[in-house]
Amino acid sequence: MGSFGSLLDGFGTALSPLNLMWAALGVLLGTAIGVLPGIGPAMAVALLLPVTYGLDPTAAFIMFAGIYYGGMFGGSTTSILLNTPGESAAVIAAIEGNPMAKSGRGSQALAAAAIGHFAGGMIGTVLLVLLAPTVAKLAVDIGAPDYFAIMVLAFVAVTSVLGASRVRGFASLLIGLTLGLVGLDQMTGQQRLTFGSLQLADGIDVVIVAVGLFAIGEALWVAAHLRRGSGTAVPVGRPWLGRAELRRTWKPWLRGPLIGFPFGAIPAGGAEIPTFLSYVTEKRLSRHRKEFGKGAIEGVAGPESAASASAAGTLVAMLTLGLPTTAVAAVMLAAFQQYGIQPGPLLFEREPDLVWGLIASLFIGMVMLLVLNLPLAPVWARLLRIPRPYLYAGILFFAAVGAYAVGGEPVDVVILLLIGLVGLMMRRYGLPVLPAIIGAILGPAAEQQLRRALQISDGSLTGLVNTPFSVTVYGVMALLLAWPLLRRLRR
Amino acid sequence: MTGPLRRRLPAAGGVLGALRARSELGVCALLLGVGALVLTDALTMDSVASTRGPVGPRTVPVVVGTALLVVAVALAVDVLRGGRGDAEGGEDVDLDEPGDWRTVALLVGVLLAFAALIEPLGFPLAGALLFWGAAFALGSRQHALGRDPLIAAALSLVTYTVFNTLLGVPLPGGPLTEVL
């Protein structure tokens, strides 16, 4: 059992006092960020990208993963108590969780959500341990055409699976690709879109793009529509579950990961679709179908478990193929780039300490999160009382610091602001943000792989489809693109 | 195709009302402009730079620029047909209220001031001004002279210390730290 031995080594890395501290810091920050409105895990990781200048990669990724999982735990607390979910993945938790809280069963809803996240995260991470090395081994000798195919798949998937409008998805992707073009061409040194400026010759740092789109764009958008006198949270006691509830929740907890994990691993937008599917499944299977919509505990337990498992699935795609399927994964990929590490099949061979330390820390972080959230959820809910001006002023503050820290140039703050205004416009007119960030991060890499592949084939376009792997990927892509047409035909 | 649509637009609002209802066309204009910019930049590139391999530095920008133009037109068609991008919701977002663009303009001003002041004033002072100004713009008036400046100063000093000592990313100290 190669991966079991590696996992044990990983626990050795993750259990060092310093890394334990980073994991604890990550889950604390993650839970706080999940509870806080208006700030999601993707924005949080983006704002923390400057730590990559001072931390070693293992510590940074252990912290980022803690934020990712912690954000999910905390997010459901807000949905259940406040009924205004900010993240799409937490929408489902509000449907059943908030009626439960209003009818005095908030503690049960919080417990069902927290244990659901724990179960989903644990099962998902076990699947990650079992599957990731196999996927990496299968993909280990993929070449330039295959990488290019995967990246194009990511572009197609984020634009056509997510969101209501494909045109708007593509517009967003192209904005991202344009941002990625700025700077010196990696292969020839030719200046592109620099307008003779030395500052732009280095390209626009991904930190500035990510922070601008996620943090500045979001803060400005909220500022334009700030809710005066925000809703009050339903007061609750300590989360707990009685025997009758346990009987109703254990099956949804175990079913959730089966739906969540595969959906996390494919580029279908992370937790949004699997939480919905899990909800529908639980509704169909439940013996208390009439309670759905009025506070059925199965409708909290299943989707929350699916959400955390999908996060583990996301990590499979990111670590083994370098394919980001969610916004958080995209920003984590940017962090890998900051370190000059290329996630992909070779990662498991080249950086075993990092990968297995990260995976082991997921198990540890999950236990920490359960301990933090099960008894302390009411304490976390107090964070909701933070005055909104401080919250959004703080986001702008850290965003500006991060942009300045990239190169010590005040002009970077101005570029950050411009990208933030683009992010504001995108939110105003319903352009999804995820395609832009994936375009900016993957665009330059995709171009390089394309040119490398065509160099090998001496310019012949067949060089892009001469491996079984790339043909398969293009087949999947064709299916994705044809899906809405097929559905229309059937009607 | 635009013929019957034009008649459907509100007559009372005149040109201004019609423009406001179709303000999403501004996004198309932006995409069109960026597309033209990317294409011009790509096509005016001097080809002296040695082209390694069959795909030079021009190809991808040409593809992206053309795609931008196509998407701009497609989006314009969608908007004129009555398609609309839904504004994004959120926990603190109240879409029933009209947009408060004055606050946004103030925040933009605060960020620009930060960019201009960080080198002459140093980070601790400029950062504190950034937080205080942003909180003020966002509606924190009650404590604008009491609690807010204290929070701003504390946040700024702690961040300055963390970046300088823990992360090893020097932020400018400015005249304030030189005196101390």
Q: What is the pLDDT of residues B84-97, one digit of tens each?
A: 877 877 777 878 77
Q: Rounded to an integer, what distance in angstroms lies between the CA atom of residue A72 and that of residue A133? A: 26
pLDDT of residue A191: 85
The per-residue DSSP string of A218-241 comes to HHHHHHHTBPSSPPPPPP------
Determine the distance from the C-alpha atom of residue A268 to the mean position of all C-alpha atoms in its chain, rounded to a whole number. 12
Angstrom distances, CA of residue A356 to CA of A62, A144, A250, A461, A491: 10, 26, 29, 39, 48
For A305-313, what is the mean pLDDT? 91
Task: State how many domains chain A has.
Answer: 1
A42 Cβ under 8 Å from any chain B Cβ:
no
Q: In what helix (H) or strand (E) does residue A12 lie, and over which residues does it extend? A: helix A2-14
Q: Could you give the 3-state DSSP secondary structure of residue A346?
A: coil
For B28-55, what is the mean pLDDT? 80
pLDDT of residue B5: 39
Q: Rounded to an integer, what distance in angstroms lies between the CA atom of residue B61 and that of residue A183? A: 12
A428-464 pLDDT, tens digit each? 998 888 889 889 988 998 998 898 888 888 878 888 8
A383-399 pLDDT, tens digit each? 888 888 998 999 999 99
Output the six-digit token pair for A229: 């006198």
CB A351 within 8 A of CB A61: no
pLDDT greater than 50 at residue B1? no
Which range (A116-130, A232-246, A275-289, B31-45) has the least confidence? A232-246
pLDDT greater than 70 at residue A473? yes
Nearest to B71 among A171, A224, A228 (CB): A171
pLDDT of residue B6: 38
Which range (B83-92, B133-142, B161-170) has the least confidence? B83-92
Number of Cβ pairs < 8 A linking chain A and chain B: 237
Closest by CA to A402, choosing from B169, B104, B124, is: B169
A144-202 pLDDT, tens digit each? 898 899 889 888 888 876 666 888 999 999 999 999 999 888 878 888 888 878 788 88
Output the six-digit token pair for B76: 């314009």
Q: Rounded to an integer, what distance in angstroms lies between the CA atom of residue B102 and that of residue B109? A: 11
Nearest to A410 among B72, B104, B118 (CB): B118
Across the interface, do A394 and B155 touch by the CB < 8 Å criterion?
yes
Across the interface, do B107 and A447 touch by the CB < 8 Å criterion?
no
**Burial of A20: CB neighbours in 10 Å, binned 0-12, 13-18, 19+:** middle
Closest by CA to A118, choosing from A373, A436, A314, A327, is: A373
CB A360 within 8 A of CB A108: no
pLDDT of residue A276: 85
Confidence of residue A86 (pLDDT cuts 50, 70, 90): low
pLDDT of residue A87: 61
Across the interface, do A458 and B34 touch by the CB < 8 Å criterion?
no
* 436-475 of A, contacting B, C-beta below 8 A: 447, 450-452, 454-455, 458-459
Across the interface, do B27 and A431 touch by the CB < 8 Å criterion?
yes
Closest by CA to B171, choosing from B112, B114, B131, B113, is: B114
The per-residue DSSP string of A45-80 comes to HHHTGGGGGTS-HHHHHHHHHHHHHHHHHHHHHHHH
Taking CB atoms and an 8 Å cutoff, what residues of chain A touch B112? 414, 417
Across the interface, do B115 and A53 touch by the CB < 8 Å criterion?
no
State how beta strands A183-184 and A191-192 pair. antiparallel
Q: Rounded to an integer, what distance in angstroms lies between the CA atom of residue A142 and that of residue A135? A: 12
Q: Could you give the 3-state DSSP secondary structure of residue B99?
A: coil
pLDDT greater than 60 at residue A327? yes
pLDDT of residue A225: 87
Across the interface, do B168 and A78 touch by the CB < 8 Å criterion?
no
Closest by CA to A157, choosing from A482, A484, A477, is: A477
| Neighbouring C-beta atoms of residue B146, cutoff 10 Å | 9
Four-point Cα dihedral A412, A414, A415, A416, nearest 10:
90
Taking CB atoms and an 8 Å cutoff, what residues of chain A touch B78? 165, 167
CB A168 within 8 A of CB B77: no
Q: How many CA atoms are closer than 13 Å to the CA of B46, on its beta-carbon side?
A: 3
A21 Cβ under 8 Å from any chain B Cβ:
no
pLDDT of residue B108: 96
pLDDT greater than 70 at residue A403? yes
| Neighbouring C-beta atoms of residue B94, cutoff 10 Å | 16
Across the interface, do B71 and A393 touch by the CB < 8 Å criterion?
no
Q: Rounded to an integer, what distance in angstroms lies between the CA atom of residue A267 and that of residue B171? A: 39
Taking CB atoms and an 8 Å cutoff, what residues of chain A touch B36? none
pLDDT greater than 90 at residue A409? no
Q: Could you give the 3-state DSSP secondary structure of residue A183?
A: strand
pLDDT of residue A476: 85
Angstrom distances, CA of residue A151 to CA of A147, A312, A440, B142: 6, 20, 12, 51
pLDDT of residue B12: 43
Across the interface, do A227 and B130 touch by the CB < 8 Å criterion?
no
pLDDT greater than 70 at residue B31? yes
Taking CB atoms and an 8 Å cutoff, what residues of chain B touch A189? 49
pLDDT greater than 60 at residue A1? no
Q: How many CA atoms are closer than 13 Å to the CA of B81, on its beta-carbon side?
A: 8
CB A313 within 8 A of CB A262: yes
* 70-129 of A, contacting B, C-beta below 8 A: 78, 82, 84-86
Closest by CA to A175, choosing from A187, A191, A158, is: A158
Output the six-digit token pair for B43: 């096509």
The number of helix segments (H) and strand segments (E) in chain A equals 21, 2
Angstrom distances, CA of residue B172 to CA of A253, B123, B157, B161: 51, 5, 12, 11
CA distance B18 to chain A (A): 17
Q: Which of A168, A182, A194, A450 to mutate to test the interface with B (most CBs of B within 10 A)?
A: A168
Closest by CA to A409, choosing from B70, B121, B103, B119, is: B119
Task: Give the gyration radius of chain A's Cα atoms.
Answer: 22
Nearest to A38 among B90, B139, B159 (CB): B90
Nearest to A174 among B52, B71, B127 (CB): B71
Domain residues for the domain of A69 are 2-490
Q: Rounded to an integer, what distance in angstroms lies between the CA atom of residue A450 and that of residue A448? A: 5
Residues in chain B: 180
- Dihedral angle sign, alpha carbons of residues B27, B31, B32, B34: positive
| Residue owning tokens 């820390």 | A361
Q: Which residue has the higher pLDDT, B153 or A491?
A: B153
- B93 DSSP β-pair partners: A226
For A46-59, what is the mean pLDDT? 85
pLDDT of residue B9: 40
The chain-wide mean pLDDT, for chain A, equals 86
For B66-84, what is the mean pLDDT? 90
Across the interface, do A414 and B112 touch by the CB < 8 Å criterion?
yes
Q: Rounded to an integer, what distance in angstroms lies between the CA atom of residue A309 and that of residue A378? A: 25
pLDDT greater than 70 at residue A323? yes
Q: Rounded to an integer, what distance in angstroms lies between the CA atom of residue B105 and that of residue B87? A: 19
CB A112 within 8 A of CB A297: yes
Which range (A77-81, A239-243, A353-357, A416-420) has the least confidence? A239-243
For A303-311, what is the mean pLDDT? 91
Please give the biggest Cα pair distance in chain A: 70
CA distance A104 to chain B (A): 22
CA-based nearest residue in chain B for residue A82? B91
CB A171 within 8 A of CB B71: yes
pLDDT greater than 80 at residue A82? no
Q: Which of B50, B93, B118 to mutate to test the interface with A (most CBs of A within 10 A)?
A: B93
Taking CB atoms and an 8 Å cutoff, what residues of chain A touch B83? 165
**Burial of A61: CB neighbours in 10 Å, binned 0-12, 13-18, 19+:** buried
pLDDT of residue A162: 63
Nearest to A401 among B50, B116, B127 (CB): B127
Angstrom distances, CA of residue A440 to CA of A192, A204, A343, A444: 15, 9, 17, 7
A104-136 pLDDT, tens digit each? 888 888 889 999 999 999 999 999 999 888 888
For A275-304, what is the mean pLDDT? 86
pLDDT of residue A487: 67
* 234-273 of A, contacting B, C-beta below 8 A: none
- Dihedral angle sign, alpha carbons of residues A308, A309, A313, A316: positive
- A108 DSSP β-pair partners: none
Percentage of chain A with pLDDT > 90? 22
Taking CB atoms and an 8 Å cutoff, what residues of chain A touch B86? 164, 430
CB A153 within 8 A of CB A267: yes
Determine the distance from the C-alpha atom of residue A182 to the mean position of all C-alpha atoms in its chain, rounded to a whole number. 25
Which range (A203-207, A278-282, A483-487, B78-82) has the least confidence? A483-487
Q: Rounded to an integer, what distance in angstroms lies between the CA atom of residue A262 and that of residue A309? A: 9
Q: In what helix (H) or strand (E) does residue A191 lie, and over which residues does it extend? A: strand A191-192
Taking CB atoms and an 8 Å cutoff, what residues of chain B touch A396? 107, 110-111, 130-131, 134
- Dihedral angle sign, alpha carbons of residues A344, A348, A349, A355: positive
